[in-house]
Amino acid sequence: MSQFAINLLFVGASFALYIGIAIWARAGSTKDFYVAGGGVHPVTNGMATAADWMSAASFISMAGLLASGGYANSTFLMGWTGGYVILAMLLAPYLRKFGKFTVPDFIGDRFYSNTARLVAVICLIVASITYVIGQMTGAGVAFSRFLEVSNTWGIWIAAFIVFLYAVFGGMKGITYTQVAQYIVLIIAYTIPAVFIAIQLTGNPIPGLGMFSTHSESGLPLLVKLNEVLNELGFRDYTADVDNKLNMVLFTLSLMVGTAGLPHVIIRFFTVPKVADARWSAGWALVFIALLYLTAPAVASMARLNLMTTVYPEAAGQVESYEDAMTDPLAYEDRPGWIRTWEETGLITYTDKNDDGRIQLYNEGNEDFAETAEARGWEGSELNVNNDILVLANPEIANLPSWVIGLIAAGGIAAALSTAAGLLLAISSAISHDLIKTMINPKITEKGEMLAARLSMAGAILLATYLGLNPPGFAAQTVALAFGIAGASLFPALMMGIFSKRVNNKGAVAGMLTGLLLTLLYIFTYLGWFFIPGTNMLPNTAENWIMGVSPLSFGAVGAICNFIVAFAVSSATEEPPQEIQDLVESVRYPKGAGIATGH
């Protein structure tokens, strides 16, 4: 059986499973559509939450970013994981106790203002649309390779599949579909990692293999990787970062963004009790850890495999890496996986010095320029898209065909699971918070269901269009979404739970400040995020304020949000007493303080 047929079999079987589950669990009411009827078991919900949260950025792009940037890009791991802990500890149980369907619902009622609700809807839609672009981008990458279609057609296929099971199944269908998707993606991620860890180090546990001895050279794997990279002008894989402020802010931005993600928050409304929300959060963290503890190993091994593919003599123990690097692979002898990915356009080769060989090095390193010139190199000739490394890993390591088919299904599952959750969050905000609550409170349940499905269909079309013109790699696009969510929604949620003094005027002013400042900074340095092909200022560190990247500015926006909200609230009237009592009831268990008389 050909590799294409195997891929089609795995992907087709997974699609049939998802659509079958959606038909079985089709939403019959608005409660089914928004919160799956509110009766999901904590373990089931934890697994669905993990799939919802571990997007194409986690499955496809994160390891690629770690592979290309090493320690410097570990901020993605620290930020996303730390943010989930904040969400689980400080937000999920309290929001579940409040008992509303959506994030704008909580903000509108807590801050007793339809204006606050409307601003929250706008923030949610901007963050979610930005986020879903990354999922569509990731799905396009996976489809284009494994189903041998163009990236454009891959995105349209992904949109069609999501439409089938999300529009009709709602949260009920999405929940059980995401359980299946988690099982598919975690198996697909770990099995190739185990194979590759055994090949390179003899250790079957990838996380431990990363710190084990490289079998061919006898050196620790990370030492081996550093030596190969050094000889090609790259920084050490384990090198520290120069701009600590930007690293801290980027990590913080991802943390507060994670905690403010509406599509993850609504998952905690699907369980029967507040205690179940806590258990769901704990189980989700366990399921997430299975992938996140494996990703660094996958990244380092993928980078080493890539470099030693181009410079095969460097794979073993050599007396001189310099000699090994002077004889790169002939282009005609390139392995099958490079040929395959070239067809997708995600690997490109340009023979700049007409020698018929593949030079892959850091041409931006001025200290390495003399060495490159002496070797007759006129520029790095192989361009590898970061998003392909995890998907290409089984082929790079010559793993069995069925493993390649499995990772095809896993990569697509990761993209579709999060895309469905995001689209549901957008749909709920429009149909429930805008139409039902603000525009037409008398709308029938049937009318609200129709509005929810139509708004989701519209969101899918918009996400597809934007996915065809993404602003960057899947993980970079997602990082922008996290910054927007963190700067706008997270502070409002935190203040809504833990401060009785913040009123509606302060909340609205804070959310608008955080959102507008963050968008202004992003627009200033990433103008093509809004208008493809344009830039207001060059997106380089020299132009950033204090070296703060647009991807890191969400943390600054969140701080400004807090400051403005407290300042405006302090200068205006206190919230009504019933709102203060409501905050008290959400934060403390019923009857707390009775025994001590407080």
The pLDDT tens digits of the residues spanning 456-484 come to: 888 888 888 877 876 554 455 666 778 88
pLDDT of residue 406: 84
51 vs 117, higher pLDDT:
117
User: Can you tell me the distance from the alpha carbon of 167 to that of 169, in angstroms, rounded to the nearest whole number?
Assistant: 6
By the 8 A CB rule, do 392 and 341 touch?
yes
pLDDT surpassing 70 at residue 541: no
344 vs 14, higher pLDDT:
14
pLDDT of residue 535: 39
By the 8 A CB rule, do 486 and 509 touch?
no
**H-state helical runs in 499-552:** 504-525
pTM of the model: 0.81
What number is the average pLDDT over the span 143-159?
79
Residue 110: band (very low, low, confident or very high) from pLDDT cuts 50, 70, 90: very high
Work out the end-to-end distance of the chain between its first and last CA atoms, rounded to an integer number of angstroms: 73
Residue 414: band (very low, low, confident or very high) from pLDDT cuts 50, 70, 90: confident
Q: Give residues with Cβ within 8 angstroms of 555, minimum separation 6.
A: 249, 250, 252, 253, 256, 483, 486, 487
pLDDT surpassing 70 at residue 61: yes
Sign of CA dihedral 350, 356, 357, 359: negative
User: Can you tell me the distance from the alpha carbon of 334 to that of 314, in angstroms, rounded to the nearest whole number?
Assistant: 16
User: Can you tell me the distance from the alpha carbon of 404 to that of 407, in angstroms, rounded to the nearest whole number?
Assistant: 5
pLDDT of residue 540: 60
pLDDT of residue 591: 41
pLDDT digits (tens, 9 = 90+) for 169-189: 777 778 888 888 888 889 888
pLDDT surpassing 50 at residue 31: yes
Residue 539: band (very low, low, confident or very high) from pLDDT cuts 50, 70, 90: low
Which structure tokens are listed for 148? Answer: 């041998």
pLDDT surpassing 80 at residue 397: no
pLDDT surpassing 60 at residue 593: no
pLDDT of residue 500: 93
The size of the chain, in residues, is 598
pLDDT of residue 578: 92
pLDDT of residue 597: 37
Closest CA to 428 of 257, 270, 258, 587: 270
Residue 295: band (very low, low, confident or very high) from pLDDT cuts 50, 70, 90: very high
pLDDT above 70 covers a percentage of the chain that reads: 92
Longest dimension (CA), the chain: 85
Residue 139: band (very low, low, confident or very high) from pLDDT cuts 50, 70, 90: confident
pLDDT of residue 143: 74
Tell me 348's DSSP state. Answer: E
The least confident of 19-23, 68-72, 365-369, 524-528 is 524-528
pLDDT of residue 487: 93
pLDDT digits (tens, 9 = 90+) for 543-573: 778 878 888 889 999 999 999 999 999 999 9
User: Can you tell me the distance from the alpha carbon of 220 to that of 553, in angstroms, rounded to the nearest whole number?
Assistant: 37
Averaged pLDDT score across all residues of the chain: 84
Closest CA to 84 of 229, 359, 280: 280
pLDDT of residue 244: 85
What number is the average pLDDT over the span 65-69?
87
The least confident of 28-42, 165-179, 360-374, 584-598 is 584-598
User: Can you tell me the distance from the alpha carbon of 91 to that of 494, in angstroms, rounded to the nearest whole number?
Assistant: 7
What number is the average pLDDT over the span 279-294?
90
By the 8 A CB rule, do 88 and 171 touch?
no
Residue 228: band (very low, low, confident or very high) from pLDDT cuts 50, 70, 90: very high
pLDDT of residue 333: 93
Q: How many CA atoms lie within 13 A of 306 on its CB side?
A: 27
